[in-house]
Amino acid sequence: MAGKARENGEGSIFPYKNGFAAYVWITTPSGGKKRKWVYGPDRETVHAKWVKLQNEANEGTVTSSVPKLAPYLHGWLDDIVKPSLAPLTHKTYETFVRVHIVPELGERPLNFTVREGQLWMNKLARTCQCCSQGKDARRAEDKRRCCSLGKCCEELLSLRSLNDIRACLRSALTHAMAEDLLKKNVMKLVKVRRAGEGRRKPKRNRWSTEQAKTFLVSARKDDDPFYAAYVLVIAMAMRKGEVLGLPEDAADEIEQVLDIGYQLQRVGGKLLHRETKTAASDDTLPMPPIAATAVRLRRKQRAADRADADVAWHESGLMFTTRHGTPIEPRNFNRSWDRRCVKAGVPKITVHDGRRSCASLLAELNVHPRVVMRILRHANMKVTMEIYTEVSDESTRKALQQLSESLDC
């Protein structure tokens, strides 16, 4: 007896166990061919699944299997991030993957759900990092002071860190989509708590014009070897890595310009002298008189150090070096900055806040935001305006005083 005639396009549908099965030939990421199966209790259900699968296969969006997140992320770090992005970015992403992502999501398939991603992010936002990473437990027994003693210090991740971790995973899933391993990036739908929720964003410190001047005068008076570096941070808004990575010939004293294109960073236990992170960070800026004078002074100091070191001198080609010509450790520069804050009697701020102070001081001088953006070498005006709109208490007081006088009857 002849069986039921197959409908059009049902050549790959047949009885299987307690129902029916079907397959479609798909192309694997390596370029090979493989069968992809669908199952169902009746022919109609399987036919619908088969048609959908066939259409997806024609569009090249079907994969033969979904890998787990952990092995995919490790391969992504080694094959995509490391060769194409900055060493510090690779190191940062590797830390995010190892410490925050894999422990919770590593065993899940690459196509985990939005809900799974959101629950992970919610948990991450309220997890004490000292507890989860065992920071206090690694201290000597007589120096333990919080989590290992049952006194949780609630060392929560900042909003910036949470957004950076999400961005890392989102970037990895975007690449998985490009490889046709995913149809959608669920991390684009995962929310991070807003700045107004939970802990408030700490207020950044900045110096007034008088405080910045006091700091620099103190360094110049003591013949601080980092005086010129401090000037470049405060008067030209240079980043710490850019100052320490300046080549010895970066300053053109005849044209009175400074070529900014390199940085010095410690990444994974190594000091790296490399190009700045983005093209927007590169520029040749005119040096104001205070910077030009400071650079000339630094060159004299460097020549004296080289003469004193004699055969012990190690030429690094950098403007700022130790007494023996080797690169400056970024952490040592931070310590020198902090000590100078104490000696000068000014509020202690970070080197990066010194750069931000330059921007806000320019704002108080009514310098146009576009000019400030050029000096800070930002790629995005929004970033510049966040700093530009920070004004001192004194400026605020003067503005309110002027308003009061205009309203006085």
Cα separation, 220 vs 99, in Å, equals 44
Assigned token pair, 337: 């900055």
Q: What is the pLDDT of residue 195?
A: 45
Average of per-residue pLDDT values in the chain: 83
Q: What is the pLDDT of residue 4?
A: 46
Nearest 10 degrees: Cα torsion 116, 117, 123, 127: 140
DSSP character string of 206-274: ---HHHHHHHHHHHHHTT-TTHHHHHHHHHH---HHHHHT-BTT-EETTTTEEEE-EEEEEETTEEEEE
Cα separation, 269 vs 43, in Å, equals 62
Q: Which residues pair with 265 in a beta bridge?
A: 272
- What single letter denotes the amino acid at residue 110? L
Q: Which are the contacts of 125, defined by CB distance < 8 A and separation ≥ 6?
A: 156, 157, 162, 192, 193, 198
Say how many Å lie between the first and final Cα of the chain, rounded: 108
At 388, give phi and psi (nearest 5°).
Answer: -60, -35
Cα separation, 395 vs 279, in Å, equals 34
Q: What is the pLDDT of residue 233?
A: 93
Q: Are 116 and 104 in contact (CB under 8 A)?
A: no
Q: What is the pLDDT of residue 393?
A: 56
Cα separation, 245 vs 319, in Å, equals 8
- pTM, two decimals, is 0.64
| Structure confidence by residue, pLDDT tens digits, 302-336 | 999 999 999 999 999 999 999 999 999 999 999 99
Assigned token pair, 18: 């307690």
> What class does CATH assign to 69-188?
mainly alpha
Low-confidence ranges of the chain (pLDDT < 70): 1-12, 27-32, 59-65, 194-204, 277-282, 379, 383-384, 386-409
Dihedral sign for Cα atoms in the order 66, 71, 73, 77: negative
Cα separation, 300 vs 248, in Å, equals 12
Statement: 209-399 belongs to CATH 1.10.443.10: yes
Could you state, in order of their start, the residue ranges of all structural domains in the chain? 13-59, 69-188, 209-399
Write the Ramachandran bin of 150: left for phi over 0, alpha for psi from -120 to 50, otherwise beta.
left
**CA proximity to 395, closest of 366, 352, 355, 353:** 366
Tell me, what DSSP letter sits at residue 101? Answer: I
Q: Are 165 and 193 in contact (CB under 8 A)?
A: no
